[in-house]
């Protein structure tokens, strides 16, 4: 089969021919029909997080069709359309038992600790499968486990977003544009930022207030947007020292800052207003399989849609990555088959 591999950090992605993976008794083999390209894939190549031992097949946003089922797997059959949860959990730790599967202490993530789906086939535990209705395309579905699911998890379940709130999404990229939809769906008001006109135009068409941070002062706009009261929630999809400092300063007392991206590893902010106004910073990494199912249901009902900005065949994976690095894409990049 064809597969994309990280062979050496700091180089390029390798397209290679390799064996179709074997499956364990509790696993299934999925023929991948589409996989989402995430900035994290590029971070992995750069060695920002280790995915040793190399080579490793990245790809944590996947959809496809079951092509083989392990001998102990119940309830799944060859030919079923599926979306793949990222976290392969132990099922025994405190967090798994509580349903916080994204925090599992022995998590083996698809596309990180396990080989992922930027390939023709991927082997995953049957527990990672979520059924995909015929009404949602593989391309629309593949980005649910991260680009949409992570925003849903963070805004709805971590921050407890309610209707009538004022929310900022910093960075109208692959995650941010889906976050805007969720805020609007909830009946709250959203303001978003970018330095790219194409992204601002897309965000504005979805009902967001937009701020070109290359030209405008974000504080002035947020003051006006919130009538001076501050924001209930800031979802930071940029992850720089500056975005974190600004985002925290714009929160109202008791407001929640969601950290969804990491560019700068060390954060600095003024602790006194953070302390005295009881603001909260929450790290946001993933989502549960239940949340993936809930996003699928919203999409099937036509309430939420995937924003796909570029499609590339697997042979042009490095070109797709370059395009993403340069920030040209409006929405998610999908690798087609
Ligand atoms: Zn990702
Ligand atoms: Zn666990």
- Between the CA of 9 and the centroid of ligand 2 the distance, in Å, is 29
- Between the CA of 226 and the centroid of ligand 1 the distance, in Å, is 31
- Between the CA of 34 and the centroid of ligand 2 the distance, in Å, is 28
Question: Cα angle at 47 between 122 and 267, to 5 degrees?
Answer: 120
Distances (CA, A) of 96 to 83, 123, 159: 20, 21, 21
Domains with residue ranges and CATH for the chain: 2-143+307-336 (3.90.180.10), 148-283 (3.40.50.720)
Tell me which residues of the chain have a pLDDT lower than 50: none
Which H or E run includes 3? strand 2-5
Q: Using CA of residue 134, residue 135, residue 137, residue 140, what is the dihedral sign?
A: negative
What pLDDT is attached to residue 304? 96
What pLDDT is attached to residue 298? 98
**Six-digit token pair at 246?**
């600004």
CB of 35 within 8 A of CB of 61? Answer: yes
> Can you give the pTM of this predicted structure?
0.94
- Between the CA of 227 and the centroid of ligand 1 the distance, in Å, is 34
What pLDDT is attached to residue 27? 98
Residue 247: closest CA among 169, 188, 189? 169
Residue 35: closest CA among 111, 149, 109? 111
Instruction: In whole angstroms, give the CA distance from residue 145 to residue 127.
Output: 14
251-270 pLDDT, tens digit each: 999 999 999 998 888 888 88
What is residue 233's three-state secondary structure?
strand
What pLDDT is attached to residue 236? 97
CB of 221 within 8 A of CB of 131? Answer: no
Q: Where are the alpha helices (DSSP H) in the chain?
A: 39-46, 94-98, 138-142, 149-152, 176-185, 197-205, 218-225, 241-250, 271-276, 289-300, 317-325
- Between the CA of 175 and the centroid of ligand 1 the distance, in Å, is 9
- Between the CA of 200 and the centroid of ligand 2 the distance, in Å, is 40
DSSP state of 103: G
Contacts of 308 (CB under 8 A, 6+ apart): 139, 140, 143, 331, 332, 333, 334
What pLDDT is attached to residue 269? 82
60-90 pLDDT, tens digit each: 999 999 999 999 999 999 999 999 999 999 9
What pLDDT is attached to residue 308? 97
What pLDDT is attached to residue 327? 87
Q: Point out the ligand nearest to the CA of residue 262.
A: 1
What pLDDT is attached to residue 54? 97
CB of 158 within 8 A of CB of 284? Answer: yes
């Amino acid at each position: 089969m064809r597969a994309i591999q990280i062979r050496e950090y700091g180089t390029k992605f390798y397209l290679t021919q390799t064996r179709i993976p074997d499956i364990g008794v509790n696993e299934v083999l999925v023929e991948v029909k589409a996989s989402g390209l995430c900035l994290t894939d590029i971070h992995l190549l750069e060695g920002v997080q280790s995915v040793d031992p190399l080579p490793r097949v990245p790809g944590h946003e996947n959809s496809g069709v079951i092509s083989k089922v392990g001998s102990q797997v119940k309830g799944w059959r060859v030919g079923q359309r599926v979306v793949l949860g990222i976290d392969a959990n132990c099922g025994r730790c405190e967090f798994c038992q509580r349903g916080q599967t994204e925090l599992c202490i022995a998590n083996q993530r698809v596309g990180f600790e396990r080989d992922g789906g930027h390939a023709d086939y991927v082997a995953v535990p049957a527990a990672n499968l979520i059924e995909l209705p015929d009404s949602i395309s593989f391309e629309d579905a593949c980005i649910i486990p991260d680009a949409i699911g992570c925003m849903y998890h963070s805004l709805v379940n971590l921050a407890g977003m309610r209707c009538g709130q004022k929310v900022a999404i910093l960075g109208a990229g692959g995650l941010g544009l889906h976050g805007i939809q969720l805020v609007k769906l909830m009946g709250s008001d959203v303001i978003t930022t970018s330095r790219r006109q194409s992204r601002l135009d897309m965000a504005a068409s979805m009902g967001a207030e937009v701020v070109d941070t290359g030209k405008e002062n974000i504080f002035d706009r947020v003051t006006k947007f919130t009538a001076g009261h501050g924001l209930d929630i800031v979802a930071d999809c940029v992850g720089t020292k500056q975005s974190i400092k600004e985002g925290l300063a714009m929160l109202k007392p008791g407001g929640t800052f969601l950290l969804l991206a990491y560019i700068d590893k060390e954060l600095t902010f003024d602790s006194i207003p953070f302390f005295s106004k009881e603001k909260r910073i929450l790290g946001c990494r993933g989502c549960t399989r239940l949340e993936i199912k809930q996003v699928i249901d919203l999409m099937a009902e036509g309430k939420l849609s995937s924003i796909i900005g570029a499609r590339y065949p697997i042979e042009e994976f490095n070109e797709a990555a370059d395009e993403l690095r340069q920030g040209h894409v409006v929405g998610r990049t999908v690798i087609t088959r």
